Amino acid sequence: MTRGEGTRERDAVDDFVAAVDRLLEYSFTRSSDSRFIEQLRAIETGMRKLAVVQHREVVETANRSLWEAVGVKTTHRFLRETLNLSKADASARLRAARQLGRLLSATGVELPPRLPRTADAQTTGEISADHARVIMNVMDRVPADTPDDRREAAEDQLVEAARTCTPDGVRQVGHMVLGYLDPDGTLTNDADRHRRRTLTVSKQGVDGMSEATLTLDPAGRALLDVVLAKWGRPGMCNPDDPQSPAIAAESFDKKLMEAAASRDRRDAGQRNYDALMAFLRAGGPEKLGEHRGLPVTVILTMTLAEVEQAAGVATTASGGTMSVTEALRLAEGAHPLLMIFDHRGKPLHLGDGERLATKWQRLGRIAFDRGCTRPGCDAPPTMCQMHHVLGWAQNGPTDIDNLTLVCDHCHGLITGTASGWETEILGDDSPLPGRTGWRAPAHVDPAGLLRTNALHHTGELLGQAQARIQLRNARAARQLRGRRSQTV
């Protein structure tokens, strides 16, 4: 390195420190609301890019073997002692640098990142360190014998999700991606999962309480989900509230349930426990009634090809997944329900003159939407209500092509004001006809683009990711041929 290069590096570091110092002295109260939102986004983007600088620092530390110079045993220990980091923080930085940094080969050649799409998105500030951490966790679980194009498509899809979803949403996409990459149990099959099922209850303590550890297979998870979705809601099955709706009741007034929910002071874990106790006392699912207009039972969604081939991944209305073979076993003895879709996956017209959707319309949207349709939301169908895209008050019909699944939280975001979200059913000229597009308010998306939710359609989006990869490869090949022809 020349002296000039070293001077430029020092100047860049000095400028960065000085800029941070200026920000510490800056008063945001002088900014207008719109300007402050711009500043929030700009600073967040800058902080995300700094993670890439950290990767380069860690790689350089390792390349220089600085730990040896100061007499410690590892890079991990050097980082902990030099930067006063916790063990977890130092480990996280090392792991991120190995996956996203540009390491040197044994011959001194700089290698590309192991997760190049993730590294690129971090470099542009589009995803955070938390997003990257989730992507790394998912990619670590991809089977070793997965073809390179499928592995690349998986990372591409995770990065696309990270650009619009929270890290929790990306984690949900990751579960679905892994299911599609390993539909027939290459890593673990149904027998392996079934063997791992367990319920362990400890001896009672001196206070009379017992701890339990439960490991559910996919079928057990699906059955438990539908119980908790209804009877674990605020206000339900509350043993401390005599007026709380109980499983034994045939029906209950909506206002009574809302009043019980307002009095409910239990946390989610306590509500789940009370729901399970009520279920056990009631004697089984046949007494559980309905939830959001449907029987409290497991609803499975599969394609015709998956049923015919007995291979692939089935999804449940509570957001879970299981292999098609296991789903078919779970469905044995149940009444089959055949739903017909057109060649593009749009449900056939199913209308009604009433305001409330029928259970058949709801089942149709569950099979089509697969969950809340707002971009980035991972709420499963069991947590959703039917929303009129063109409002009932505006003469919007209760037809299947004017209905969509929206969870309670996201439904509250549709306010009909400048600060609210808008919904629109995509037309036949769209690449995704029949799907629900959402337009965010200006403070979320200044461009006001119409977006769809990718979280519940991972198989379809994996194909799109592979198409993008093939397009990039074809473009790179053309550029290489062009350079070669110029050389000749």
pLDDT tens digits, one per residue of 322-334: 677 766 665 554 4
More confident residue, 243 or 302: 243
Q: Is the pLDDT of residue 462 over 80?
A: no
pLDDT at residue 249 in the model = 52
Do 169 and 122 share a structural domain?
A: yes
Q: How far from 209 is each of 186, 202, 237, 241, CA to CA, in Å?
A: 40, 9, 20, 22
* Residue 316 included in any domain: no
User: Which residues form the domain of 487?
Assistant: 115-182+461-488
Give the closest residue to 404 by CA, choosing from 449, 435, 441.
435
pLDDT at 68 exceeding the cut of 80: yes
Domain assignment present for residue 481? The answer is yes
- In a domain, residue 310? The reply is no
- Residue 293 in any domain: the answer is no
Contact 177, 458 (CB under 8 A): yes
pLDDT digits (tens, 9 = 90+) for 236-279: 888 888 888 876 554 567 788 888 888 999 998 899 888 887 87
The model's pTM:
0.57
Span of 29-43, 133-147, 249-263, 303-317 with lowest mean pLDDT: 303-317
Q: Are residues 121 and 50 in the same domain?
A: no
The sign one gets for the Cα dihedral 324, 327, 331, 335 is negative
User: Quick one: what percent of the chain has pLDDT higher than 90?
Assistant: 16
Predicted local distance difference test score (pLDDT) of residue 345? 55
- How many Cα atoms sit within 13 Å of 19 on the Cβ side? 9
pLDDT at residue 135, rounded to an integer: 95
Q: Are residues 83 and 161 in the same domain?
A: no
Specify the pLDDT at position 293.
Answer: 57
Would 304 be classed as within a structural domain? no
Q: What's the pLDDT band for 158 if we cut at 50, 70, 90?
A: very high
Percent of the chain with pLDDT over 70: 74
| Domain end (from 91, 114, 137) | 114
Q: What is the pLDDT of residue 159?
A: 93
95 shares its domain with 110: yes
Q: Are residues 122 and 100 in the same domain?
A: no
Q: Based on the fold, state whether residues 444 and 467 are members of the same structural domain.
A: no
Ranges 134-143, 325-334, 341-350, 365-374: which has the least confidence: 341-350
Report which of 383, 351, 357 is spatially closest to residue 456, judged by C-alpha positions: 383
Question: What one-character-per-residue DSSP string does 115-184 give?
Answer: SHHHHHHHHTTSS-HHHHHHHHHHHHTS-TTS-HHHHHHHHHHHHHHHHHS-HHHHHHHHHHHHHHHSTT
* pLDDT digits 0-9 by tens, 391-403: 766 776 777 778 8
Is 296 within the bounds of a domain? no
How many domains would you assign to the chain?
Answer: 4
Looking at residue 353, what is its pLDDT? 44
- pLDDT tens digits along 92-129: 999 999 999 988 877 778 889 999 999 999 999 999 99
Distance between CA 299 and CA 290 in Å, rounded?
Answer: 13
Q: Which of 249, 267, 282 is the last residue of a domain?
A: 282
Average pLDDT over residues 469-480: 76
SS3 213: strand
Q: What is the pLDDT of residue 445?
A: 85
Q: 431 with 469, same domain?
A: no
Torsion of Cα atoms, 387 then 458 then 160 then 320, to 10°: 70
The predicted structure's pLDDT at residue 6: 63
Q: Which band of pLDDT confidence, cut at 50, 70 and 90, is reported for residue 348?
A: very low
Are residues 259 and 175 part of one domain? no
**Region 470-476: what's the mean pLDDT?**
76
| pLDDT at position 224 over 50 | yes
Residue 3 lies in a domain: no
Picking from 98, 114, 130, the residue at the C-terminal end of a domain is 114
Is the C-alpha dihedral spanning 162, 20, 90, 11 positive or negative?
A: positive
Note the pLDDT of residue 350.
43
* Domain shared by 390 and 410, yes or no: yes
Q: At what angle do helices 129-140 and 167-181 cross, to 10 degrees?
A: 20
What gap in Å lies between CA 137 and CA 158, rounded to an integer? 11
Say which residue, 53 or 319, is predicted with more confidence.
53
- 350/449 same-domain check: yes
In this structure, are 363 and 258 located in the same domain? Answer: no
Alpha carbon distance 201, 454 (integer Å): 39
> Which amino acid, one-letter code, is at 85?
L
Identify the three-state secondary structure at position 360. helix
Range in 242-251, 294-303, 400-409 with the lowest mean pLDDT: 294-303
Q: Could you tell me the two tokens for 414? A: 């549709």
Q: Lowest-pLDDT range, 38-42, 240-244, 458-462?
A: 458-462
pLDDT of residue 254: 75
pLDDT band at 4 (very low <50, low <70, confident <90, very high): low
Looking at this protein, which amino acid is placed at residue 251?
Answer: S
Q: What is the pLDDT of residue 145?
A: 75
Does 162 score more than 50 pLDDT? yes
**Domain check: are 105 and 133 in the same one?**
no
Look at residue 425 and tell me if it is in a domain: yes
Task: Note the pLDDT of residue 155.
Answer: 92
